[in-house]
Amino acid sequence: MSEQPIIVVAGATGVVGNEMIRILEERKTPCKELRLLASENSVGELYSFHGQEVEVRLLTEEAFAGAQYALFATSADLSAKYVPAAAELGVCCIDNSSHFRMAANVPLVVPEVNASAISIGEKIIANPNCSTIQLVPVLKVFEELAGLERVVVSTYQAVSGAGKAALDELWESTRSVFTQQEKEPEAFPHTIAFNCIPQIDVVLDSGYTKEEMKIINESRKILGLANLKITATTVRVPVFHSHAESVNIQTQRSISREQIIELLEKTPGIRVYPNYSDYPMQRDVAGTDEIHVGRLRKDESAENAWNLWIVADNVRKGAALNAVQILEQLIR
C-alpha cells in the first residue's frame, strides 16, 4: 500500500488497547489517521498520538467506514459482533479476543512462528492467547531441532491478563488486607492478594479450565501439529505484569544444551539466559518486547527431556505487540 492507512483501535481505553496506541507510536507504524473506539463511558477521552490529540469515539459499525485496518482489544462478545461487520466494510481485522482463534478459516498468528499463515486479502486474523504467544516460538525451536514428543506447561499469570478491572482489584485487595476491610472479589473467583488461584477462565466439564484448553488447542494450531501431546495448568498470581511459565519439553531425538541455546539465540524476539544463576523475572521483564528464556536444564527423570522458564510481558508480546507485528506484515 503506497498511501498510509487509516487504523482503528476498538477497545482503545483498556489494558491492551492503551498498549496498542503506545506501540503504534513507538514503532512508527505507518498510519494516516488513528481512530479510537470504546464504550459510552469513555467517549470524549483524549489520547496523544504523534503529538496530536485523538478523541475516543463510540464503538459502532459505522465507525469502521473508510478504514483499512482494525485492531480489536474487546471482549469475545463484542468482537463476535463487530469484527464481521468491519470485515464486511472491507476492513482487515486483527482480533485479540478468543472468539475467532479456533475457526478453521481464520489464521492464528505469531509472526515469528507462522507468518506464512496469512494470505493476501485476508479480512480476519486472530491474535493468540497471551500464554500461548510466549510459548510457541520456544516450542518451535525444539520441534526444529529434535521433534516435539510431549510438553507440560504450568503458568504463573499476571493480573493484567484479566484487564483493567483486575489490575485495580489487586491494588484494592492488597490494601484491604492491611486495613482489615476485605471485600468480595469481583474480577477473580477468589481473593488475589497474597494468593495464587489455580483457575483462569471457567472450569470445563473435563476439569480443565478454558485458559488451559486455549494453550493446548492454540499451540497445536499455530505449530501445525494437530496431535501434539501437550498439557497445561494455569495459575493466576498476585503480580501486575508479565506471565511466567515453567515448561517441561520432551523431544523425539537427543539434543545438547548448546544446540538449544544456539537456536534460541538466533530466533528473533527471544532473549536467552544461558547461565544457570541468571534468570528472567516478571518485574524485570514488564515493559520489554522479548520472550525471555532461562533456567534451561536437563530433566534427568525422562529421556530427551528439558526444563525451562519462559517470561514475557503479557500485554506487549502477549497481546498488543503481536497484533501490531501482524498489522505491519499486512501493511508491508
Residues that bind ligand NAP (CB under 6 A): 11-17, 38-39, 41-42, 59, 73-76, 78, 96-97, 130, 160-161, 163-164, 314-315, 318-319
Query: Taking the complex as a whole, how short is the minimal distance between the CB of residue 250 and ligand NAP, in angstroms?
Result: 28
Residue whose cell numbers read 470485515:
87
Q: How far apart are CA 6 and CA 274, in angstroms?
A: 43
Identify the DSSP state of 115.
Answer: G
Closest approach, Cβ 187 to ligand NAP, in A, equals 9
Q: Please write down the long-range contacts of 41-49, taking CB distance under 8 Å and 24 or more positions apart.
A: 42/12, 42/13, 45/13, 47/12, 47/21, 49/21, 49/24, 49/25
Choice between 160 and 267, CB closer to ligand NAP:
160
The C-alpha torsion from 23 through 29 and 32 to 36, rounded to 10°, is -20
- Kindly report the number of other CB atoms within 10 A of residue 187's CB atom: 18
Active-site residue, selected from the candidate residues 99, 130, 241, 292: 130
Looking at residue 86, the DSSP 8-state letter turns out to be H
Minimum distance, C-beta of residue 222 to ligand NAP, in the bound complex (Å)? 14
Which residue's CB is nearer to ligand NAP, number 5 or number 163? 163
243 labelled catalytic: yes
Length of the chain counted residue by residue: 332
Please confirm, yes or no, whether 130 is among the known catalytic residues.
yes
Residues whose CB is less than 8 angstroms from the CB of residue 113 and which lie 6 or more positions away in sequence, other chains included: 136, 137, 140, 222, 223
Task: Indicate the residue among 29 and 97 with the shorter CB distance to ligand NAP.
Answer: 97
Task: Select which of 99, 241, 243, 292 is catalytic.
Answer: 243
- The minimum distance between CB 15 and ligand NAP, in angstroms, equals 4
Closest to ligand NAP by CB, 29 or 74: 74
Instruction: Give residue for cell 470504546.
Output: 38
The Cα 156–Cα 235 span in angstroms is: 5
Residue 129 and residue 13: Cα distance in Å, rounded? 20
Which residue, 139 or 187, is less far from ligand NAP as judged by CB? 187
Give the nearest residue (CB) to ligand NAP.
14
Helix, strand, or coil (residue 144): helix
Q: Which is nearer to ligand NAP, 92 or 315 (CB)?
A: 315
Q: Please report how close the Cβ of residue 42 comes to ligand NAP at its closest, in angstroms.
A: 3
Q: Work out how close the CB of 220 gets to ligand NAP at its nearest, in angstroms, rounded to a whole number.
A: 18
**Amino acid letter, 82:** Y
Q: Which is nearer to ligand NAP, 82 or 309 (CB)?
A: 82
Give min distance, CB of 269 to ligand NAP, in A.
16
Give whole-number Cα distances, 261 to 152, 162, 289, in Å: 20, 32, 19
- Give dist(CA 174, CA 238) in Å, integer: 9
- CA distance to 4, 19, 70, 114, 328, per residue, from 332 (Å): 11, 22, 16, 16, 6
Residue ranges in 76-163 assigned as alpha helix (H): 76-88, 111-114, 130-146
Which residues are known catalytic residues?
A: 130, 243
